[in-house]
Structures are given as structure tokens and as C-alpha cells.
């Protein structure tokens, strides 16, 4: 079923007692946005129930149509169906991830099995599948356009991969597995968020001595808001932990923060995620076998650019091996410097601190000083200027659009000629109820069939500043800002006619290319020179900027080993064909890291107990996609460097036309070749990370 489908007029009219529900019926909001200013938690479940019933009725109407199947009465009709459900679901899940209050978590827990059940009913419906399959077998004689043919092929593939072609007993089991997997994903995410909150660390003034002022003041404000004035609160989030580990001189305090962050989901309490992990993997193994695949990884990658786990692993190991050599060199540098402080047993909570000292010595850089020239508002301006220079798009803040939480900003994105492209919701700051990480999602996808304009959302977890102070970001956070907006552009610029092929509805190992290639422009000197400014409005000194850019490949052994060890373990875990009864995720993880030779001082970027990408985020057997896409983004950005102008208008227009606009209307490899003229190799990636 499409993520976007039928008008309100097609569904059952709301009863009188439902008329007060702002989710039901027509929305009279500006641009038809969700009426977040009027929605209350109690509105969601009744709206879901009505929308699910409508979607079920619409699907059954298509399946039982007495007329012979045609593209219009089957495939296109499916694209039009379920529109109310798409609208309600996208409205809710935008909030469920960004503001996971107890009420929203309860709704998600109740709704997940209902949505899984509807998906199973639709995708395993034999009458509906037979109509799709009949058209698929006849596709060469239907006179379809290339996009229509692609939609038919992709729709047929979704049904087959959902199990529609299996015998009845296998279909029944797949349906049960899908429903249980949906419930387990919700449980994993909710436990992780609860454990993250439970791992808040309160430090004393002595423990934060020597910490940069912006970090200390933000932590003091957070502690006061939590009812503990005089203390300093550090949540167990990456945006709080990594800057602290980089800058805090107090080694014991660093250990507290590191343990709080690293052991999320792995504590001896009700929020331990080990049971969910084991069951998720067991069910994925069973489903893969039912689907005729050797492993879950084989099943997932059959619908990707990589095609096979061996191809993905070949790339991962080709990058991991030189990265490990570099990481061990970096470790020796860190050990030598730490020894001067009397630290002879470097621990994981020491790496970032001493790496920063090495970087400071080698490049004359002080992270705290660099951040003074990296205000969030300035980086946002840099992002929008980049977009204008590349694609002619401009951003205009809208204050008339209701947002779902305090601090969310809304921008109207316009074409160079003033035409409205879509709306962009920016939710950049951390809150206790926001899930970890950074992400983009669509509230509405652009498409010609329904005449809809896009609404995209970006989320990040930047530490909010103390009252009256500027929000400052690290270069890594600035790159993440650009990365997520790259996803946003991919979601907004699509010219696909059909919703199911629009925007980011592409394979996991291609979806990261448009976002990752966009990251490169944050380190374009002209962009930083214009927008990296301190509180007095002075630009970043030329020597600081030069050092910052030179230091881009510093510590890349550490970062690459951290990231790729997570990707390798994801792939290995999902290539298992069975789990022992006493399977323990923590012990298995430790054994794998020893075999890979990952230094204990480095560890993984995402440990299994909190690896939400693969247990609650759709990236199971797909975390390799970031590295796969990096081979493309490094090679793709090389095209701009080869052109002698990173804002080359012809090349930018080609990138937009061949990548950002096409969505899933053709094979992603074809899209990359149309832009670059050939497929990439890992060479540009290795150069990009300074590993070659």
C-alpha cells in the first residue's frame, strides 16, 4: 500500500462525536499541514481506527473489482488508496519519534500491531496479488510509460517480498512474524529511550572544572530545570557525551559520562534490550527461511544496490583494514601524550580527550575556540546559501504554521522563480522525550498523481543553549545538519508522478548518497568564511579555518573503525542461520570485536544494546549503506572538484535532475551513472578519509 492515498470524501463520514477530532475530515490549516496546535494525544487512536478501516475497505474494493485488472483500476487505484491513513500516520510518527511522551508511547504501542495487521492483510491478499501478478506477467504488452512500468515492477516485488507468493501456511506464519517484529521494534525503542533518560548524569562543579563555558552553562541550566540547581546535567546522548569526552579534564567524570552513554540498553534493569534483540534476530532468521533466502542479510540485500552480503562485506573490509592500521598508529600517539599525564592505561573514555590534545598540537586547534565561530544560526544560513547556489532554492521562515513542539521552526522552500516547492520543519534541539540520533522523515511526499507538495522534517539532538546564549555546534554536528537537509532535499525535489516512487523511497544503500554528498559543502572555504563567525560577528581567522580543513582526516582511523565495526557486526549478526538457546548479544558482540581486532580503547559507534538503526529503524543488515553511499558521495563530489567549481551550475543541475528529482522511478545505479558517467570505486572514499 502506498504511503499516501484517497480523499476524505471516499471514506466513511465522521460521526457527530468524532467531528471535534481535528485529524478527521478536511484540514483548514495553511498549506494543509497537520493541525498540531489542536491535536491532543486522545485524538490519534480514533483517527487511526477510522483511517485503517477506510484503507482496508479501499484495498478490498480493488481486490474484488469484477472488472479485469488494468494498470488504472489496480496499480494506480492502490496509489490513490489509504490516503487518510498516510496522513494520520505521518502526522503521528513525526511526533512519536521527536516527542515520545508516555501518552505518545502508549499510542505507538497500541497502533503498531494494528498497522502490521493491515499491512499483512493487504500484502498477503491473494485476490489483490493475483491482479498485480496478472499485470506483471503482461507488462510488456500494456503500453506503459517507463515510470508506470517501474511502479508495476516495484509493486509486484513488494508483494512477493511480503510473502504473497508463498503457500497459505507460510503466509500465515509470515504475517504473525511481521506483527511480532513490529511490536518488538516499538519495545526496543521505548526501552532505549527510557534507559537513556535513566542514565542522566549529574556532576558537581569540581567535576566540570575546565569544561568550555558553553557546555558548562547548558548543563547547569539543564540541571536547574531538572530541580537540581548548582549541579550539571549531562543526558546520555551523543550530542552531550562526545563534546564532554573531548573537552573534560576530569578523568573520573569522563568515565561516568562514557559509561552512561555506552551502556544504554545494557544495564541490569527493566530497560535491558537483550531479550528484544534475541527475539528480533530469531524471527528475522525464520522469516528469511520462509522467503527462500539463506539469511536475513541475503533477503534484505537482494533489493539493494549491493545485491549480496559478500559485496557489502568486501567494501566494508576493504575500508576497515587500512582504517585499523591507522587507528593503531593513532593509539600510539594518544598513549604517548597520555603518559605525560601519568595515564599508562588508556581507556575508551580517554581517547577523545587525548585525541583532541594531539589535534591541538598538530594543527594548533582548540575545539572550544572553533565552536565559538560555529553558531547554529550561522550554519543554518550556510546550509540555505549552499542550497541557493546549487539549486536556486531559497528558504523563508513561516510563523503561521503550527508546530508539534516548542523550538520547531518551519520554512517555506521556494524555487528561483518564487514558486513554492514545499515546507521544511526543523527540529534541531534535544529534548528528554526525543529518540537518539538524527533523521529526516516526510509528512507528505511530492507527487503528480494527487497533486501534493512535500512536507519534510529534520531532527537532530543539539544541546540547547542556556537562556540568552547562542547555540554552538561542532563541525561534526554541522555536517549532520547538512546531511539531514540533503535527505530533505531528496524528499522535496522529487518529480515522480506516483507517491510510492517519490523522494527517498529508494534502496537503503542509495538513499544516503544525496544526503552524504551534500555534507561536502559545509567544508567549502567560501561557505565557512561567510557564515562561521563569533559573537562579535568576526569571521573565523584564516589560519584557524586552514587548520580546521587540514584536520579533516585527523583521527579517521578511530572514527572509521568505530563506524565499520558496527556495520560489520550488523552484517554478521544477520548472516546467522540460527541462534543458540543461550545467545547473549553482549557476549557475542565482545567475541566479534576481539576477532576483528578492534582496540578496546575504541569500541563501536553503536553497540548492539542501543543500535536503534538495526532494531528499531529499518537498517537491519543495511548499516553498511552509509559506507556504500560514501563511495558514491566522495566520487560524486570529485566531479565538482574536477569541474574547478564546487558550485558549477551545469553539474549542480545534473545532480538535481539525475539524482534528487528521480526518486525510485528507475534503478539507482542508472541514476548514479547518469550523473557521474560511471559507477564509483572505493578509492575516492579512502582518499576522503585520508586512508590512502
Catalytic residue IDs? 484
Residue with cell 570529485: 638
Rg of the chain, C-alpha, whole Å: 25
Q: What span, in angstroms and rounded, lies between the C-alpha atoms of 326 and 456? A: 39
Secondary structure of 618-646 in the HEC alphabet? Answer: CCCCCCCHHHHHHHHHHHHHHHHHHHCCC
Q: What span, in angstroms and rounded, lies between the C-alpha atoms of 308 and 515? A: 23
Q: What span, in angstroms and rounded, lies between the C-alpha atoms of 457 and 426? A: 6
Enter the DSSP assignment of 12. P
Three-state DSSP at 427 gives: strand
Helix 102-123 with 83-98: angle, nearest 10 deg: 140
CA-to-CA dists, residue 503 to 147, 381, 441, 456, angstroms = 14, 24, 11, 10
Cell of 387: 542550497
**Strand residue runs (E) in 419-473:** 420-429, 439-444, 455-462
Q: Could you tell me if 411 and 403 are in contact, meaning their C-beta atoms sit under 8 angstroms apart?
A: no
Helix 126-137 with 146-162: angle, nearest 10 deg: 140
Q: What span, in angstroms and rounded, lies between the C-alpha atoms of 350 and 373? A: 26
Q: What span, in angstroms and rounded, lies between the C-alpha atoms of 477 and 245? A: 15
Burial (CB count within 10 angstroms: exposed 0-12, middle 13-18, buried 19+), residue 68? exposed
Residue 234 phi/psi, 5-degree rounding, is: -125, 110
Enter the DSSP assignment of 677. S
Enter the DSSP assignment of 692. -
Q: What span, in angstroms and rounded, lies between the C-alpha atoms of 293 and 297? A: 9
Q: What span, in angstroms and rounded, lies between the C-alpha atoms of 615 and 608? A: 9
CA-to-CA dists, residue 683 to 20, 300, 326, 570, 637, angstroms = 59, 26, 16, 24, 13
Three-state DSSP at 116 gives: helix
Q: What span, in angstroms and rounded, lies between the C-alpha atoms of 47 and 564? A: 42
Task: Name beta bridge partners: 396.
Answer: 412
Q: What's the chain's length in residues?
A: 692
Q: What span, in angstroms and rounded, lies between the C-alpha atoms of 276 and 353? A: 34
Amino acid at each position: 500500500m502506498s504511503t499516501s492515498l484517497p480523499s476524505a470524501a471516499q471514506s466513511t463520514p465522521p460521526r457527530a462525536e468524532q467531528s471535534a477530532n481535528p485529524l478527521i475530515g478536511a484540514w483548514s490549516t495553511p498549506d494543509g499541514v497537520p493541525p498540531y496546535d489542536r491535536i491532543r494525544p486522545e485524538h490519534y487512536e480514533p483517527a487511526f481506527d477510522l483511517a485503517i478501516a477506510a484503507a482496508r475497505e479501499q484495498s478490498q474494493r480493488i481486490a474484488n473489482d469484477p472488472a479485469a485488472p488494468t494498470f488504472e483500476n489496480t496499480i494506480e487505484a492502490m496509489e490513490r488508496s489509504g490516503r487518510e491513513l498516510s496522513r494520520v500516520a505521518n502526522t503521528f510518527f513525526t511526533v512519536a519519534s521527536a516527542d515520545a511522551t508516555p501518552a505518545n508511547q502508549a499510542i505507538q504501542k497500541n497502533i503498531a500491531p494494528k498497522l502490521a495487521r493491515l499491512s499483512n492483510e493487504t500484502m498477503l491478499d491473494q485476490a489483490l496479488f493475483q491482479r498485480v501478478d496478472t499485470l506483471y506477467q503482461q507488462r510488456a504488452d500494456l503500453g506503459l510509460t517507463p515510470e508506470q512500468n517501474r511502479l508495476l515492477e516495484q509493486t509486484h516485488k513488494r508483494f512477493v517480498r511480503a510473502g504473497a507468493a508463498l503457500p497459505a501456511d507460510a503466509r500465515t506464519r509470515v504475517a504473525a512474524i511481521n506483527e511480532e517484529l513490529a511490536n518488538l521494534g516499538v519495545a526496543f525503542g521505548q526501552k532505549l529511550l527510557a534507559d537513556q533518560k535513566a542514565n542522566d548524569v549529574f556532576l558537581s562543579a569540581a567535576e566540570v572544572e575546565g569544561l568550555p563555558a558553553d557546555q558548562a552553562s547548558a548543563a547547569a541550566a539543564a540541571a536547574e530545570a531538572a530541580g537540581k540547581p548548582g549541579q550539571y546535567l549531562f543526558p546520555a546522548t551523543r550530542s552531550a557525551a562526545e563534546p564532554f569526552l573531548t573537552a573534560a579534564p576530569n578523568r573520573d567524570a569522563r568515565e561516568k559520562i562514557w559509561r552512561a552513554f555506552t551502556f544504554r540498553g545494557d544495564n541490569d534493569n527493566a530497560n535491558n534490550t537483550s531479550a528484544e534483540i534475541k527475539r528480533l534476530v530469531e524471527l528475522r532468521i525464520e522469516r528469511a527461511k520462509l522467503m527462500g533466502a539463506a539469511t536475513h542479510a541475503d533477503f534484505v540485500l537482494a533489493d539493494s544496490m549491493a545485491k549480496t552480503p559478500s559485496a557489502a562485506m568486501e567494501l566494508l573490509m576493504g575500508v576497515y583494514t587500512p582504517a585499523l592500521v591507522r587507528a593503531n598508529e593513532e593509539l600510539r600517539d594518544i598513549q604517548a601524550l597520555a603518559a605525560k599525564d601519568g595515564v599508562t592505561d588508556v581507556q575508551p573514555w580517554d581517547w577523545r580527550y587525548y585525541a583532541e590534545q594531539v589535534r591541538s598540537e598538530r594543527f594548533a586547534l582548540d575545539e572550544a575556540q572553533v565552536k565559538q565561530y560555529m553558531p547554529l544560526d550561522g550554519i543554518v544560513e550556510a546550509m540555505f546559501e549552499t542550497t541557493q547556489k546549487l539549486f536556486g532554492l531559497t528558504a523563508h521562515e513561516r510563523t503561521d504554521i503550527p508546530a508539534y513542539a516548542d523550538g520547531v521552526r518551519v520554512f517555506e522552500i521556494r524555487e528561483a522563480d518564487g514558486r513554492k516547492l514545499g515546507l521544511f520543519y526543523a527540529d534541531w534541539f534535544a529534548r528528554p522525550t526525543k529518540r537518539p540520533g538524527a533523521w529526516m522523515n516526510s509528512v507528505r511526499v511530492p507527487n503528480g498523481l494527487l497533486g501534493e507538495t512535500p512536507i519534510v522534517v529534520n531532527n537532530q539532538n543539539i544541546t540547547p543553549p542556556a537562556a540568552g546564549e547562542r547555540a554552538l555546534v561542532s563541525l561534526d554536528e554541522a555536517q549532520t545538519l547538512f546531511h539531514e537537509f540533503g535527505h530533505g532535499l531528496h524528499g522535496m525535489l522529487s518529480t515522480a508522478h506516483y507517491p510510492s516512487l517519490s523522494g527517498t523511497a529508494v534502496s537503503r544503500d542509495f538513499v544516503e548518497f544525496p544526503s552524504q554528498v551534500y555534507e561536502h559543502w559545509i567544508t567549502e572555504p567560501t561557505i565557512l568564511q561567510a557564515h562561521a563567525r563569533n559573537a562579535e560577528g568576526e569571521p573565523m581567522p584564516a589560519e584557524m579555518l586552514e587548520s580546521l580543513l587540514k584536520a579533516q582526516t585527523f583521527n579517521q582511523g578511530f572514527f572509521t573503525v568505530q563506524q565499520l565495526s558496527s556495520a560489520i557486526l550488523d552484517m554478521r549478526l544477520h548472516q546467522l542461520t540460527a541462534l543458540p538457546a543461550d545467545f547473549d548479544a553482549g557476549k557475542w558482540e565482545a567475541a566479534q570485536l576481539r576477532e576483528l581486532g578492534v582496540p578496546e580503547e575504541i569500541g563501536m559507534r553503536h553497540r548492539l544494546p542501543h543500535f536503534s538503526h538495526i532494531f528499531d529503524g529499518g537498517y537491519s543488515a543495511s548499516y553498511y549503506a552509509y559506507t556504500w553511499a560514501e563511495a558514491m558521495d566522495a566520487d560524486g563530489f570529485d566531479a565538482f572538484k574536477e569541474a574547478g567549481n564546487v558550485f558549477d551550475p551545469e553539474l549542480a543541475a545534473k545532480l538535481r535532475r539525475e539524482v534528487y528529482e528521480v526518486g525510485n522511478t528507475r534503478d539507482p545505479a542508472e541514476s548514479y551513472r547518469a550523473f557521474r558517467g560511471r559507477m564509483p570505486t572505493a578509492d575516492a572514499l579512502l582518499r576522503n578519509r585520508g586512508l590512502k
